[in-house]
Each structure stands twice: as structure tokens, then as C-alpha cells.
Amino acid sequence: MRTSNILFSVVHLFVVLFIIAAGIFFIMLPSLSSFRINLAALLTEGSASFVKLGIAFLSFGFLLLTGFYFLNRKKYLKLKMDCGKTLIDEAIIRDYLKNYWKEVFPGQEVQSDIVLHFPQKLEIIAQLPKMNEDEKETLLARVQNELGVILARKLGYEEEFFLTISD
């Protein structure tokens, strides 16, 4: 699972748990009269603690915002070519992969993703349809060669790349 998916899932979990806790709190609030009195006293007298709480929430919000920015910014593959350096958007590589999987597995949907590792290493992750081991070995050799040719001819990427297959 990609880092951005993990972070998004954790934030989603915290938001859901917060909403459930708020619902339980407001359902229970009418039956807890002493708690309401103490809460009212805290709200009227405890202004210093609210500043600390506000700073904590604000810091956590900025931390999440910064994390989402760095995880969701566009990623490029930088290639050095004869005419100079070229930047290739991640979406272009995804489109080539999508078209390639349609040719190899017509009528079947292949889930795939790419990850750009530092420094300029490409990893292709794909979930292939079910097949027996002999077919899988033959197919993997074919896919590795054909993807290497596609990346080299269409994008000028001649470095090694990682191919990760999951069942």
C-alpha cells in the first residue's frame, strides 16, 4: 500500500472515530447533570487551557496539510536525453501501462500502479489475473521485455525498473 493511501486511511479512521465519539457524547450529555455543570464551569473559567488546545489542533492540522501536500504533489521522472533533460509526468507512464495491459489481457481489468523511487528508479506494481505457474513464468518474461521496450522507445527510459506482481 502506498504511503498516501495509508495516511489517508488513518486520517479517515480518526475522523470517523471522532464523529462516533461526538455522537455518543451528545446522546449521553442530558443524563449527566454533574458533568454539564463542570463543563460549564470549565468553559467559563479555563481560557488558558483552550489556547493550548487550540494550538495543538492548529499544529496537527498544519502537519496533516503539509503531509497531504507532499504526498499528492505531481511526480515526474527526469530523463537525460541527447537533446537535454526531459520531465515525464507520472500520468503518461500510467496511460502507457493501461494500454499495454489492455493488449496483453483483452477484456480483463488489470490493476496497476507506478512508484517513483529516489533517485529516478521506476517501480511498476500490477495485479494480474489468475493463471497457472507455467503461464505466469512465460508471461512475466514477456511482460518484462515488452515493458522495457515500451519505456525505452516511447519515453526514453533505458534504466532498470522494478516489476512487482501480486496475485
pLDDT tens string 105-122: 888 888 888 887 777 778
Question: So what's the pLDDT on residue 20?
Answer: 92
Alpha-carbon distances, residue 4 vs 35, 42, 86, 95, 115 (angstroms): 40, 39, 26, 21, 12
Tell which of 25, 57, 72 closes a domain. Answer: 72
In terms of domains, do 67 and 85 share one? no
Q: Does 100 share its domain with 119?
A: yes
The whole domain housing 146 covers 76-166
Q: Kindly tell me the sign of the dihedral angle through the C-alpha atoms of 29, 30, 33, 38.
A: positive
Average pLDDT, the chain: 79
Residue 147 CB neighbour total at 10 angstroms: 19
CA–CA dist 75, 54 (Å, integer)? 34
Q: In sequence order, what are the beta bridge partners of 78?
A: 87
For the residues 120-137, what does the mean pLDDT come to? Answer: 80
Residues 116 and 152 in one domain: yes
Do 82 and 8 share a domain, yes or no? no
> The whole model's pTM is what?
0.51
138 bridge partner residues: none
Give CA–CA dist 112/158, Å, rounded.
Answer: 21
The answer to whether residue 78 scores a pLDDT higher than 60 is no
Q: Which of 72, 95, 115 is the last residue of a domain?
A: 72
Could you give the number of structural domains in the chain?
2
Kindly tell me if the per-residue pLDDT of 30 is higher than 70: yes
